[in-house]
Structure 1
Amino acid sequence: MTDAEEAEVVSWLESAAERKIETGCAWVFLAGDTAFKVKKRVDLGFLDYSTLDLRLWALERELRFNRAATSDIYRAVRKLTRAAGGGLELDGPGAVVEYALEMRRFDERAVLSAQPWAVDGPLADALGREVARVHARAELRPQGGGGKALKYTIDSNARLIRELAPKLGEERVEALIAATDAEFFRRKPLLDARRDAGFARQCHADLHLGNILLEDGKPVLFDCIEFNDVLSDIDVQYDLAFLLMDLDFRRRRDAAVRVLSAYVDEGLRHFDRRLLAGLAALPLMMAVRAGVRAHVQAHSGDLEGASAYLGAGLRHLSPPPPSLTAVGGLSGSGKSTFARLIAPGLGASPGAVVLRTDEIRKRLLGVAPDAALPASVYSPAFYNDVYDALFAEARTLLDAGRAVVVDATFIQPELRGRVEALAQEAGAPFHGVWLQAPPEVLARRIEGRESDASDATVATLRMQLDRDVGPVDWVRVDASGPAQDAAEAWSIQHGGAPLA
């Protein structure tokens, strides 16, 4: 295609469109409920659309890759052909002048980058689970992932950021490069082991809020990378790291940590416990993602944003040590809400992974997190299995450097002793929190629950009230009022800053 033909294609599509969107490597034309995407005739090194065949190859991959997660947005690759009268037409019998990807048009205001505040708890939970499911069904890419794939981006970041050092500050730039390299070589054996264990897959690879849509209350992933296998055949955790870094950077650490906790619970339905051990490399991966954004922002002229991403990368590479916090109390005391409120302020970004016995039960039985189960499944043996899984997962996370909040009733003194011993064995600081409220408040909350993993009923609460829980030497917190107040009180008690 010549320059004149490219201009003709753009003019023809634009004449029927309500709006044209231009990026560095494509145009998108919006008309009614349809969008047509045309690749530009460019070669950027890491991306080559310089010939008609290469553009067709890229569009067909874009269609196929995105359909894995977003089946109804990406419709078909269409031909723009030469009409008998000399003009252009769609899918005619004449010679192909260009190819276009037909898509379903969606509301641009529904993209999460335009409304980061919309990522509330339930949406964050749904998003984490959706990403985990997409990763679980993604094709294995044993030739990708590992240390080699991540080092490709690390070296690219170093080269591009160094070009900007005079504008961003030589000392900070070199500090980020040195810290990233040091952490990479520390984690390279883990990265390679994850590749060999099947965590290298064909991923979205550009998973930030600008490529996630909210439709009918559900997250929809779109616009994945199709043009370079080195960038898309990666560790699934590096894919997730972009979303976590983006939320964290937008001061939505509360949403990010809930995404992470949901991803962990859902991921353990599809992967083994090595999923948890891999979180030791999450600070590195988030720092690399921040480094990418630093040079992208700088090259677009946003030096203030680039500097902020540089600082974020450095912070990710200096995480605080892990801790273990146990949140106990009778059913209805607000343990899960309290755990989620305090999690963002604990440990490495984006915060502590929350492990709930309510969710572990459903996972072990292979049912949905909010599936209602009869009391008959809760045998003493199964009860023990759930707590064994809780403690094993918590220990793996602590060993990986992640702070953990365990959410369970902890009615039995021996279970409280086990969780305290676990922290001691792992060399992690321990905090025990016991939430308490009047029985009538607990009962009212249980009766008002909807779509929650807990199967506790008012009858369950009565049985708990009749039991002797023994001496509880954990910090007691009044949970009779709003959970935010209880979490604030605990945070202040422990010298932490007030919750955001």
Structure 2
Amino acid sequence: MSPSATMAPGEAEVVAWLKGQSERTIETACARVFLAGEVAWKLKRNVDLGYADFSSAARRKWALDRELEFNRAAAPDIYRRVRAITAEPGGGFVWEGRGEVAEYALEMRRFDDGAVLSNDPDAIDGAMAEALGRTIAGFHARAPLRPEGGWSALAFTVGSNAHLLRDLTGGLDHHRVELLVARTAEELARRKTLLEARRDAGFSRRCHGDLHLANILVEDGRPVLFDCIEFNDLLSDLDVQYDLAFLLMDLDFRGRRDAGVRVLSAYLDEAARSFPGALWEGLAALPLMLSVRAGVRAHVSAHSGDLAMSRAYVEAAIAHLSPPPPALAAVGGFSGAGKTTFARAVAPALGASPGAVVLRTDEARKRLAGAGPVDRLAPETYTPEFYARVYGTVFETARALLKAGQAVVLDATFTEPELRARAEALAAECGVAFHGSWLEAPAEVLEARVGGRVGDASDATLQVLRDQIARHGGQATGWTRVDAAAPTGEAAARWLKQLDR
């Protein structure tokens, strides 16, 4: 019988009292949320679902206290306090009266349901995807360490997925489920050493645990993470990359690889400011993590009665375990040529989901200087030694990603022949395909773009651009020339079509 079908003794009276004060009630398997004016009250159901036990008042109070604590880390303005509902001697209930406690509820500030990203995934533009990646990386960097998590938490979910999906074979294809279960177990075993090393390096932390689009809203133009998992440490004490993988899988499933790869690239750039260098190597486990997250959604969808969606998630989970080989692309050109826009346009079509990580020398430069992503650096920072260090960092990062199976797009001027040769040599060293592009446009177009930049990582000025043209204009690069004056989408589509020949 479903949790909504029956209520424990006394539960119905409290629910009726809260409904009487509310405009609308939202029902889930674990809770009820009562919306009243600018307030929302959350009541845990009196149920034991196996993975979540709320069958006693003490357990429900414990869960609400943790929910308050955990969610304040990301959404302090939404989660307010846990309050007691007490029984009046003559009947009825009040908030925190003198009578016996009948139940506990979590008080939250009500927010606009329409602002939740799952309602309109197509509205996630580049700026929002960038903000999502950096916001999540900051949340993870501040999260408490959890050395008990990591591989063991992922192994728990792999086992749970297998059990729950096998129970659903009356509505799912038995052979496809068994294929997924077997291949997931094999990949988990193959990545155990890597995942345990990441745990020991500090990548296992108290995470959100349920980080998909339905648990992210936008307020004042900023993403806000809410409704994290509090009731089971095996579902919240995770490798941070596995936490991020839920959002990446969700975007991929909804046909938004463009947003997913922007999220991932921004996340990695921001996380590299706080986490050790093993950050990049961990991408080898991303296909497994994406698959496990799709497996979670498969059984959740089936239990919600949507078998067609469940089957689609099973197929997605299987596909993630057979990622295409990585490739290295390099996008060069003078300042203002639109390299970053072009790189981001082609990245979703390269390599495994969500696409190629875009590595910008402009962003690496800011990281190495200890500056924010769009802070301007003083001109004296740009020494030959610093220039060489920035390129060296980008090439080493690309090497780590390629060896982890992740495609990469290098976004830099690449005006020197030595640097272009170095990019080609890196691809050969890693045994991956190389695609070099040189973006060009008339000088007046480049100058207009450089002069109009706002809020970008590039510090290039009109004088920098003019110096580039004077020193390197008219050179033959040997890379595919791209008309950067044309609309980026058209130029990227033509470039990608050439790759398929």
TM-score (norm 1): 0.97
* Aligned counterparts, 1:89-128, within 5 A: 89-128=94-133
* Aligned counterparts, 1:132-143, within 5 A: 132-143=137-148
CA distance change for structure 1 residues 189 and 71 in 2, over 3 Å: closer, same or farther? same
Question: Distance in 1 between the 2:174 and 2:464 partners?
Answer: 62
Question: Distance in 2 between the 1:94 and 1:461 partners?
Answer: 75
The reply on whether 1:456 has 2:489 as its aligned counterpart is no
- C-alpha contact 2:129 2:262 (8 A) present in aligned 1: yes
Supply the AA of the counterpart residue of 2:144: E
| Match in the other structure for 2:173 | 169
2:332 to 328, 332, 341: 328
Supply the AA of the counterpart residue of 2:145: L
Supply the AA of the counterpart residue of 1:222: F
Tell me the secondary structure at the aligned position of residue 89 of structure 1.
Answer: strand
| Match in the other structure for 2:255 | 251
Supply the AA of the counterpart residue of 2:176: R
Q: State the shift of 1:299 in Å.
A: 1.6
| Match in the other structure for 1:28 | 33
| Match in the other structure for 1:493 | 498
The reply on whether 1:48 has 2:53 as its aligned counterpart is yes
Supply the AA of the counterpart residue of 1:473: G
Supply the AA of the counterpart residue of 2:146: R
The reply on whether 1:295 has 2:299 as its aligned counterpart is yes
Supply the AA of the counterpart residue of 1:331: S
| Match in the other structure for 2:220 | 216
Question: Distance in 1 between the 2:111 and 2:407 partners?
Answer: 39
| Match in the other structure for 1:416 | 420
| Match in the other structure for 2:354 | 350
- C-alpha contact 2:147 2:200 (8 A) present in aligned 1: yes
The reply on whether 1:83 has 2:84 as its aligned counterpart is no
Question: Distance in 1 between the 2:485 and 2:92 partners?
Answer: 73
Q: CA RMSD in A?
A: 1.1
Supply the AA of the counterpart residue of 2:93: L
CA distance change for structure 1 residues 97 and 166 in 2, over 3 Å: closer, same or farther? closer
CA distance change for structure 1 residues 20 and 486 in 2, over 3 Å: closer, same or farther? same
Question: Distance in 2 between the 1:245 and 1:326 partners?
Answer: 26
Question: Distance in 1 between the 2:176 and 2:142 partners?
Answer: 40
2:470 to 466, 473, 476: 466
2:66 to 61, 68, 83: 61
Range that drifts further, 211-220 or 166-175: 166-175
Supply the AA of the counterpart residue of 2:320: H
- C-alpha contact 2:348 2:356 (8 A) present in aligned 1: yes
Supply the AA of the counterpart residue of 2:382: Y
| Match in the other structure for 1:479 | 484
Question: Distance in 1 between the 2:206 and 2:415 partners?
Answer: 44
Tell me the secondary structure at the aligned position of residue 471 of structure 2.
Answer: coil
- C-alpha contact 2:204 2:238 (8 A) present in aligned 1: yes
Tell me the secondary structure at the aligned position of residue 310 of structure 1.
Answer: helix
Q: State the shift of 1:458 in Å.
A: 1.0
Question: Distance in 1 between the 2:60 and 2:47 partners?
Answer: 10
The reply on whether 1:37 has 2:42 as its aligned counterpart is yes
Supply the AA of the counterpart residue of 2:339: K
| Match in the other structure for 1:446 | 450
Tell me the secondary structure at the aligned position of residue 114 of structure 2.
Answer: helix
- C-alpha contact 2:201 2:276 (8 A) present in aligned 1: no
Range that drifts further, 78-87 or 152-161: 78-87
Tell me the secondary structure at the aligned position of residue 343 of structure 2.
Answer: helix
| Match in the other structure for 1:145 | 150
Deviations 1:98-136 (A, max 9, x none): 100000000000000001111110100000011111111
Question: Distance in 1 between the 2:304 and 2:57 partners?
Answer: 28
| Match in the other structure for 2:208 | 204
Question: Distance in 2 between the 1:3 and 1:137 partners?
Answer: 39
| Match in the other structure for 1:72 | 77
The reply on whether 1:261 has 2:265 as its aligned counterpart is yes
Q: State the shift of 1:178 in Å.
A: 1.3
CA distance change for structure 1 residues 170 and 4 in 2, over 3 Å: closer, same or farther? closer
- C-alpha contact 2:399 2:430 (8 A) present in aligned 1: yes
Gapped runs of 5+ residues in structure 1?
none
Supply the AA of the counterpart residue of 2:58: D
Q: State the shift of 1:365 in Å.
A: 1.1
Q: State the shift of 1:83 in Å.
A: 2.4
Q: State the shift of 1:491 in Å.
A: 1.0
Q: State the shift of 1:386 in Å.
A: 0.4
